[in-house]
Structure 1
Amino acid sequence: QGVAKGDRVLVYMPMIPEAVIAMLACARLGAVHSVVFGGFAANELATRINDAKPKVIVSASCGIEVKRIISYKPLLDKAIEISDADSKPQRCIIFQRAMEAATMIEGRDLDWNDLLADAQPHDCVPVAATDPLYILYTSGTTGEPKGVVRDNGGHAVALKWSMKAIYNVDAGDVYWAASDIGWVVGHSYIVYGPLFRGCTTILFEGKPVGTPDAGVFWRVISQHQVKCMFTAPTAFRAIKREDPNAELMKDYDLSNFKALFLAGERLDPDTLKWAER
């Protein structure tokens, strides 16, 4: 019942270390991971299950939003129930979080910690440069979501090159992409790119405002001595709206912070000027 080279593994988890561990474990085994944004509705998840036909689904009991807990397991159970008969996973591995315990289905669901207690190290499985590393689905705004396949070799070369040539970070630096692993930016610049370069990467289960305030980005940058940050203009618009004079920034040491990259959507001039100031 183990995962082998070429198997598909669907990862439906919040922004927690276990999600990245699952991705990297797949890469080590030559399996193909497909991360679905945590908290996606059951019908959206079922569409991706039908297409990927995963052998295993790795999930968590819940995720955390600003003012509420989102139960993942009922969404997962419903998605599997409505998915095609030939697409249903053999097993689901569930990471039980302290905030909420999930109800397990006997014979299908396995507890993450129970498996970890008995796990044995496994050698890296050699793969070809053109073998698939992951499948990531488009949003589905124009028809059915399309599974985009990223290979191993070109992916590794391009991302490692970009970390120095574009972001100017070196081994040992701390890099923070304030995105989500459910998106391609999260795959590229939370997980793989920084690790290829030997950087420390930041995994943040929070929002630019409300967790607890508009100073949280500055707190994380100061606490972890972030050198370079990548995020969306929307995040900085939210911070600017809550703290227009950047008063909360004054509480933190940002001396190691050298570069900010805002991308993924249009950056309006007002937000650009505010960020530069």
Structure 2
Amino acid sequence: MSQETLSNLLHENRRFEPPADLAANANVKADAYDEAERDYVAFWEKAAERLTWETKWDRALDWDDPPFAKWYVGGTLNAAYNCVDRHVENGNGDRVAYHWIGEPEGDSRDITYAELKDIVCQAANALTDLGVKKGDRVAIYMPMIPETVVAMLACARLGAPHTVVFGGFSSTALRDRVQDCDARIVITADGGYRRGAPAALKPAVDEALESCPDVRNVLVVRRTGQDLGEGGWTDVRDVWWHDAVDGASKDHTPEAFDSEHPLYVMYTSGTTGKPKGILHTTAGYLVGCAWTHWAVFDLKDDDVFWTAADIGWVTGHSYIVYGPLANGTTSVMYEGTPDTPHKGRWWEIIQDYKITLLYCAPTVIRTFMKWGADIPQKFDLSTLRIIGSVGEPINPEAYIWYRETIGGGRTPVVDTWWQTETGMHMISPLPGVTAGKPGSAMKALPGVSAVVVDDEGNAVKPGSGGYLVITEPWPAMLRTIWGDDERYRETYWSRFEGMYFAGDGAKLDEDGDIWLLGRVDDVMNVSGHRLSTTEIESALVSHPSVAEAAVVGANDADTGQAVNAFVILRESALTDGEPEEGIVDELRNHVSKEIGPIAKPKAILVVAELPKTRSGKIMRRLLRDIAEKREVGDVTTLADSTVMDKIKEGIAAGSDED
């Protein structure tokens, strides 16, 4: 698609109406909005009937003690049974659950539901042999391999809440999460493959566990065959997966757990710097992600679904594992990166596996745009019928390119808004019902009450902006922050009375459609990953050369936001008043080691002072002005109103920037 065509489509302010054939056969019809509006609790009761229950609930919603909700009270079920066993019992054991594709050429596996059931049962028996019981927490630090899904389902089968830690995080991040949820078992691999080479994981686990003496076993998948090196194996504690799992019995009877039994804890960044353990429970979460997966993607029995994300994030939990498996879907799971071994890898996978539903982040779409339309045009993408966007608002240019170049100009785009905390899609077009509008998430899904409000919590009129809030409970909502009910109240329910607010700004256009404006606090959204400015500042200051640091998220064409840091160096890191050579690269790598590569600052500016108020608060909005190269805003509240001029002069004089 030419730039001229793209510009014309943007200037037309297009609405893309649902294709007639899709609308005629859509899973969800337009009257679902009215049905949910009349009685949203009854709506979610009907959705829950899509699962298999050991005991049906007595009461659909207990909202007697807000903000602590309970859904399907009195009901019992098992998440793993709903994701695997029941499909086998219903005669679908031969259906492929996952087409797994490793990064090395030719490395692939097809796993049927019957095979998945057997492996999950074996893993559950192996974990039982290691002493795992109902309520025990298990940390999973794995690459994108089938055993990651198996580990999650085995935990769910036993009623042992799992906490999956993204494999790109550092040993420090893993340590903090293991300690916070008091995990006693860690499941990992020797490594995974990334950009054509093996990347080790086990050494990071060993380093993390130096501060976690209560972890009694590490279950290790042999993925790359790397030499673990001297000290890389601890007898008694460390156990090979193939030794423990492969020989275990394939017979295992799952126990039905209470609807509110904890399913998993997922950590997300917080404004205090300490990650928040988001608790999701079993029934409501499974209902929410299964129904939204079925509805938003208009799922059919013959679909092949691909969420191009990592299982370490909530997108992977809800739309690689629990949603698709609860629906008996055939999914694709890919270990590698979009450009390994070549930049057409994704499109080759879609062509080879005849994928019909694709779900990915705007960040990668913008990368593909940069690489050029000629690459995907070499492949047959005609099987795609719905394409989705996740992780951050998709800008109109990327939306149009995605729809026209990847979707062939015929494929609806579902631009989904949701969060780790919500557990499921909250705002999205329904492809057979609502139109698509480039850049807009459109409207809340049936059964979800999303409103844009002003500073006083009053709903705004079309054409106005404000804060996005949820005014009624929903099944997949987080139940609390692990071990900290008060922080849960303060973080999500204190800004507007009786309303959930997690920090996103939004506006209503004249049609009443919702546009997300991004974060209104100091949590950045980098490539769909929420990172805390405080956490990165803490990592920078932990370096012996740094006296003080301030971090902001600046708009970035590729990643949505980019990490920009301003640092004051200690005298020991200065030579004749100038920064030591290589200090910026050293600091960037330090942040990567402390938190993970995704937190590595795109730019670090060495400054002599930071803009502060008289009370000592750093005025990050002014630093954001600098990072985004625009006119600096009001400086009247600064203790020293000349400091911004000094910063600009320092930059102009050649302060080091990556």
Q: What range describes the TM-score normalised by the shorter chain of this pair?
A: over 0.9
Give distance in 2, aligned partners of 1:159 and 1:196. Answer: 9
- Equivalences for residues 156-235 of structure 1 within 5 A: 156-208=286-338, 210-235=339-364
Give distance in 2, aligned partners of 1:18 and 1:80. Answer: 22
Residue 10 of structure 1 aligns with which residue? Answer: 139
Q: Is the Cα–Cα contact under 8 Å of residues 32 and 132 in structure 1 kept in the other structure?
A: yes
- Equivalences for residues 67-86 of structure 1 within 5 A: 67-83=196-212, 85=213
Give distance in 2, aligned partners of 1:80 and 1:185. Answer: 27
| TM-score, with structure 1 as normaliser | 0.93
- Equivalences for residues 1-277 of structure 1 within 5 A: 1-83=130-212, 85=213, 88-102=214-228, 103-120=232-249, 121-140=251-270, 142-208=272-338, 210-242=339-371, 244=372, 246-277=373-404
Deviation at 1:106, TM superposition (A): 0.5
Give distance in 1, aligned partners of 2:395 and 2:193. Answer: 30
Give distance in 1, aligned partners of 2:396 and 2:287. Answer: 34
Give distance in 1, aligned partners of 2:284 and 2:301. Answer: 20
Amino acid at match of 1:247: D
Deviation at 1:141, TM superposition (A): 5.4
Amino acid at match of 1:106: D
Secondary structure of the 2:398 match is helix
Secondary structure of the 2:215 match is coil
Give distance in 2, aligned partners of 1:141 and 1:46. Answer: 20
Give distance in 1, aligned partners of 2:300 and 2:286. Answer: 16
Secondary structure of the 2:333 match is coil
Larger relative contact order (CA 8 Å, sep ≥ 6): 1
Distance 1:195 1:171, change over 3 A: farther
Deviation at 1:140, TM superposition (A): 4.6
Q: How many residues align?
A: 271
Distance 1:155 1:70, change over 3 A: same
Amino acid at match of 1:267: I
Structure (1 or 2) with the larger CA radius of gyration: 2
| TM-score, with structure 2 as normaliser | 0.40
Secondary structure of the 1:161 match is helix
Secondary structure of the 2:380 match is coil
Distance 1:199 1:58, change over 3 A: same
Q: Taking every aligned residue pair, what percent have the same amino acid on both sides?
A: 39
Give distance in 1, aligned partners of 2:364 and 2:319. Answer: 17
5+ residue gaps in structure 1?
Answer: none
Deviation at 1:164, TM superposition (A): 2.3
Q: Is the Cα–Cα contact under 8 Å of residues 11 and 58 in structure 1 kept in the other structure?
A: yes
Range with greater deviation from structure 2 (108-117 or 138-147): 138-147
Q: Deviations over 1:140-176 (max 9, x none)?
A: 5532111111111001111121122211112342111
Give distance in 1, aligned partners of 2:245 and 2:348. Answer: 33
Q: Deviations over 1:20-50 (max 9, x none)?
A: 1100111111111110001311111110011
Distance 1:140 1:68, change over 3 A: farther
Secondary structure of the 1:203 match is strand
5+ residue gaps in structure 2?
Answer: 1-129, 405-658
Q: Is the Cα–Cα contact under 8 Å of residues 196 and 340 in structure 2 kept in the other structure?
A: no
Secondary structure of the 2:334 match is coil
Deviation at 1:199, TM superposition (A): 0.7
Q: Deviations over 1:69-113 (max 9, x none)?
A: 321111100100023x4xx31110001123514332101000000
Runs (4 or more) in structure 1 with deviation over 6 Å come to none
Q: Is the Cα–Cα contact under 8 Å of residues 172 and 198 in structure 1 kept in the other structure?
A: no
Q: Is the Cα–Cα contact under 8 Å of residues 175 and 201 in structure 1 kept in the other structure?
A: yes
Give distance in 1, aligned partners of 2:369 and 2:299. Answer: 27
CA RMSD of the aligned region, Å? 1.5
